[in-house]
Structure formats: structure tokens, C-alpha cells
Amino acid sequence: MAKKLKPMHPGEVLREEFLVPLKLSAGALAKACGLPRTRIERLANATRDLRKVLDRIETVNKAA
């Protein structure tokens, strides 16, 4: 039977599939998205929950 892999944190996917291959910094991505740099850094380092990031983006977009 195939060995199950541990679920990946969305920040790990962001970092390994996008930031590193595209040589993009968390700060550059944050600036392009209009978000604080620390929010993207914490997500990419798997220290912030994706749901909290998305909720905050939704709140900011509703206020605009």
C-alpha cells in the first residue's frame, strides 16, 4: 500500500512552488498584493494560518 504523505501547509506550497522558483521575495509578493510583508512572510514560513490571511484580505476588500 502507498505511504501517506503528511499534509503540506499552504505556506510551504507558496514558498516551494512559487517564491523560490520565481526568485520572488515575500516582500515583493506582498507589495504586488497590497498586503503587509510580515503577513506573507509568516504564511510562507508556515507560522500563520491561511484562513486568517484570507479573512483579513476579505475584510480589507469589503472596506474599500
- Report yes or no on 57 lying in a domain: yes
Q: Alpha carbon of 30 to those of 3, 5, 7, 24, 51: distances in Å? A: 36, 30, 25, 10, 17
pLDDT for res 22? 95
d(CA 52, CA 43): 10
- Report yes or no on 4 lying in a domain: no
Half-sphere exposure of 35 (CA within 13 A, CB side): 22
Q: Per-residue pLDDT for the chain (64 aa), expressed as one digit of tens each?
A: 788 888 888 888 999 999 999 999 999 999 998 888 988 898 888 887 777 777 777 777 777 6
- Report yes or no on 5 lying in a domain: no
- Report yes or no on 31 lying in a domain: yes
CA 28 to mean position of chain CA atoms: 12
